[in-house]
Amino acid sequence: MLEAAAGLVKRHGPDALTMRGLAAALDTAVTSIYWHVGGREALLDALVERTVAELGEIRPCGRTPEERVAGVARDLRRQLRDHPHLVALVHERGLTERMFLPAQRVLVREAHAAGLRGARAAEFVRAVQFQVVGHVLVERNRERAPAQHPDERELWSTETAGDDPVLARALALPVDTERLFETATRALVRSLLAPTSPTCPPDSAG
Amino acid sequence: MLEAAAGLVKRHGPDALTMRGLAAALDTAVTSIYWHVGGREALLDALVERTVAELGEIRPCGRTPEERVAGVARDLRRQLRDHPHLVALVHERGLTERMFLPAQRVLVREAHAAGLRGARAAEFVRAVQFQVVGHVLVERNRERAPAQHPDERELWSTETAGDDPVLARALALPVDTERLFETATRALVRSLLAPTSPTCPPDSAG
DNA sequence: ACCTGAACACCGTTCAAGT
DNA sequence: ACCTGAACACCGTTCAAGT
């Protein structure tokens, strides 16, 4: 039954999961679902629970901590993108974060490997987590966006952008989210893993 | 009528906006709404349009480009957080990005001020945008999350985290999103505005 | 041009009744 | 213990009919 529900969600999205529809798919009465799982809310809870438990396999690889963290981030993003509907459900019910507990452990290990400890390591872990989840949420958002009135593309295509036509042209193109994610993540990781104090150049006293 | 709809959404969230409820609030028949705006979908479209148009006032201040960009990011985050329900609607309809067009212009100016041009400037603008939107989406997600089974806090409170009790304790505390946003944004901005090539130290050939 | 009530096809949920 | 159909209170939407 949970299987059938997951199937419906995977194929047609969370809204397609109606009690009557599920009952029809299971060739049973609507009310028997209530006896087994108890209401739509409980059904979604169970589904989300299952999804959260299923995701989480991560094995870091790479030479430097920066590379390994970037790889972990990339894997996480991939996992989230591969199950858009289920992740949407998890997100809808506010559990996106809990899905990340296994990843947190891996990131802690990498922070330590880079020489980061204590509060700064904790901040690093969370910054990467927010980066990944945030990026995926924005991507999902963009993908759902219908072509709208003064669209980003056409708006920048008529703009000079302060004598920088290359920039205007770049912003008129659709975003290469893959590349943007890589660049932003690496920039963030590099900066946070840097051994020196945030506001001082590398050869300063600290 | 649009006013009344906005009021309902602001107070009780998008789901509270029902055609029958709105009709009652306006003391009219349900069907007359259909004559004026035409269906719930169109009503939400109009509402979102209004919200997108209203947001957008940004004036950067600070000494360095890094400071100004961080300030802009902070303002954007604040705006988004101040209208959670309307922003949720905008997000739901996939228009969060379009809301950011005015901000993009400001960021372009700052990128130029920092000496960044062309494709790299475009990437910078988008990285900051994704950073802000992403962070706010994650925050919203976290706030909606009910206290759940093995919660982040209690999970890390029993963990040793590889001989780093300070880190374990830090991860057992709730996230200081304000601070995390500031740290992550500055790290990202600093790294992207750095004049040197990403993978080389400052005194290298480039 | 503007508003109306009745009706339709959905929805989640409850409940008394079956086996 | 498990399943059922009927019924309830909601939804968004349509449509013919009013003024």
In a domain, B205, yes or no: no
What's the whole-number average pLDDT of chain B? Answer: 86
Å separating the CA of residue A42 from the C1' of nucleotide D12: 25
Q: For chain B, what is the domain count?
A: 2
Higher pLDDT, residue A202 or A123: A123
> By the CB < 8 Å criterion, does B174 face chain A?
no
pLDDT per residue as tens digits for the range B102-145? 899 899 999 999 999 999 999 999 999 999 999 998 898 887 76
**Predicted pLDDT at B151:** 67
Going B107 to B109 to B111 to B114, the CA torsion angle's sign is: negative
Residues A171 and A95 reside in one and the same domain: yes
In a domain, A123, yes or no: yes
Question: Do B170 and A145 count as a contact with CB atoms less than 8 A apart?
Answer: no
Nearest chain B residue (CA) to A149: B98
pLDDT per residue as tens digits for the range B178-206? 999 999 999 999 999 987 644 444 443 33
Q: How many CB atoms lie within 10 A of CB B200?
A: 10
Residues A135 and A77 reside in one and the same domain: yes
Bases of chain C within 7 A of a CB of the protein = 2-6, 10-16
- How far apart CA A84 and CA A12 sit, in angstroms, is 11
pLDDT per residue as tens digits for the range A94-145? 777 778 888 998 999 999 999 999 999 999 999 999 999 999 988 988 887 6
Res B21 pLDDT > 50 = yes
Res A204 pLDDT > 70 = no
- Which of these three, B36, B55, B74, is where a domain ends? B55
Determine what percent of chain A is predicted with pLDDT higher than 90.
51
- Residues A85/A10, Cβ–Cβ less than 8 Å: yes
In a domain, A147, yes or no: yes
Range of the domain at B18: 1-55
Residues B185 and B92 reside in one and the same domain: yes
In a domain, B203, yes or no: no
Residues B97 and B179 reside in one and the same domain: yes
**Predicted pLDDT at B129:** 94
| Range in A24-38, A157-171, B179-193 the model is least confident about | A157-171
- How far apart CA B185 and CA B183 sit, in angstroms, is 6
- Residues A68/A61, Cβ–Cβ less than 8 Å: yes
Å separating the CA of residue B49 from the C1' of nucleotide D17: 35
